[in-house]
Amino acid sequence: MYSNTDDLSYGKRSEQSSSFACKPVSACLASNAVDRDISTCMRTEYIGLHSTYKTVWWYVNLGDVYSVYSIRVLFRTYEKQYEKRQKGRFAGFSLYLSNTANKQEGHLCYKDGPQLPPLDFATTCYGHGSYVIFYNERLDGTVYPTGYEKLIITELCEVVVKG
């Protein structure tokens, strides 16, 4: 399904803000999002309403500074009846390109909203960097657009950075 030509993220080191208590633990690792196996996904703890976590991040370290031109994110899909819920979980996410693991030191490539995103998402992102960072939040007291889930789990099955 994937070509490794210009694929800057395949097999690279990745980290995430928290991990869901999966059994086995390997079922939720950050590295699952860059293994090119869409049946494996990273999975974080819940964020949002009644959760101690309010933000979530995941990043891939490309290992060097590269010229990046696109990012593709495949979110976890479930049966058709859960598609809107899944889109609502990812709604509002951001993608950053940075030379460090800190999104504030990079530049914003994409900010989702207010419509719900597709579960197979791609965007152009022109710039130079060594980290691609996925970020989302569900903050107390914030009014989110219709369709946004208030308590979310992040499940990224593949992140493909081309450059």
The backbone torsions φ and ψ at residue 82, rounded to the nearest 5 degrees and listed phi first, read: -105, 5
CA neighbor of 40 nearest in space, from 135, 159, 161: 159
If you count them, how many residues does the chain have?
163
pTM: 0.94
**30 touches 6 (CB < 8 A):** no
Antiparallel, parallel or unpaired: β 14-16 and 55-75: antiparallel
Task: Write down the pLDDT at residue 106.
Answer: 96
CATH class given for the domain over 14-162: mainly beta
Sign of the C-alpha dihedral computed for residues 123, 128, 132 and 133 taken in this order: negative
Q: What are the sequence ranges of the domains in the chain?
A: 14-162
Confidence of residue 3 (pLDDT cuts 50, 70, 90): very low
Q: What is the pLDDT of residues 143-157, one digit of tens each?
A: 999 999 999 999 999
Give the tens place of pLDDT for each residue, 101-147. 999 999 999 999 999 999 999 999 999 999 999 999 999 999 999 99
Per-residue pLDDT, averaged over 157-163, amounts to 97
Task: Kindly indicate the confidence band of residue 5, based on its pLDDT and cuts at 50, 70 and 90.
Answer: low
